[in-house]
Amino acid sequence: MPVIKYPRVRDPLFYEWDRKAQKCGLRHTIYAVNGDQYTGEWLDNLKHGKGIQIWKSTGAVYSGDWKFGKRDGYGSYSILDPVTKEYKKVYTGWWENDQRGGQGMFFYPNGEQYEGEWSNGLRSGWGKMHYKDGSTYEGQWLTDQPNGTGVLRLPNGNRYEGGWKDGKKHGPGKYFYTDKGQLLEGIWVVDIPKCGVLVDFGRDNAPASIESPLPEIELHDPAGVLAEARARFDDSHN
């Protein structure tokens, strides 16, 4: 009985080309169609591991960890200063799913700085913010605003300790006027104290304490009541 031989079935040639084009492991710089470039590790044709991405449109650079094509892990993001032509660090810290997530430090263009926790690219958790006027806020954050409990310190030494909501003083709190030596303890609503008690607090050593001498009191006794009472007191003791 004759043996029939069938031709060997082979995949189309472009399958082989595609397999060879799949990027895995450490690769040299790969350029995208829009001019972006990436140098680093790959897995199944996705950026995965350590790598550096440069965006052509902005000149921004990310150097750090990647996971399945997204920034995930620890890394830093910098932008190119158009004047000095030097790179300025914008954020360094942890990333999750291509957004700032976890502990990290952010440098704002106006010189302000935040160091703390992030979630979905926003300040959320515990963190400290340094403002350009010299004041600082340290406490709880939610969706990029102070929310919860925190302390605001002003350049003149005054400070507020208490509740916050949507970036404003809200709830029980204490405001220390260290320049005047006074303490206001009460309830705030949308940055305004609604009720509270103002007491002296280190007033003798305060640099801008307000002088409040006790007023002189004159006793008037038109009906001679005090004189009569004193006379009776003297008679009873003689």
Q: How far apart are CA 176 and CA 184, in angstroms?
A: 7
**What CATH number does the domain containing 174 carry?**
2.20.110.10
Q: Do 103 and 136 belong together in one domain?
A: no
Q: How far apart are the first and last CA of the chain?
A: 156
User: Which tens digits make up the pLDDT trace of 33-78?
Assistant: 999 999 999 998 899 999 999 999 999 999 999 999 999 999 999 9
SS3 33: coil
Give the total residue count for the chain: 238
Residue 10: inside a domain, yes or no? no
Main-chain phi, psi angles of 20, to 5 degrees: -70, -25
Query: What's the predicted TM-score (pTM) here?
Result: 0.74
**What CATH number does the domain containing 70 carry?**
2.20.110
Q: Do 70 and 138 belong together in one domain?
A: no
Contact 64, 47 (CB under 8 A): no
User: Looking at residues 178-186, what average pLDDT do you find?
Assistant: 91
Quick one: which H or E segment has residue 19? helix 13-21
pLDDT at 162: 98
Q: How far apart are CA 174 and CA 155, in angstroms?
A: 17
Nearest to 93 by CA among 63, 70, 67, 58: 63
Q: Do 98 and 172 belong together in one domain?
A: no
User: Which tens digits make up the pLDDT trace of 87-130?
Assistant: 999 999 999 999 999 999 999 999 999 999 999 999 999 999 99
- For residue 90, give its domain range: 22-107
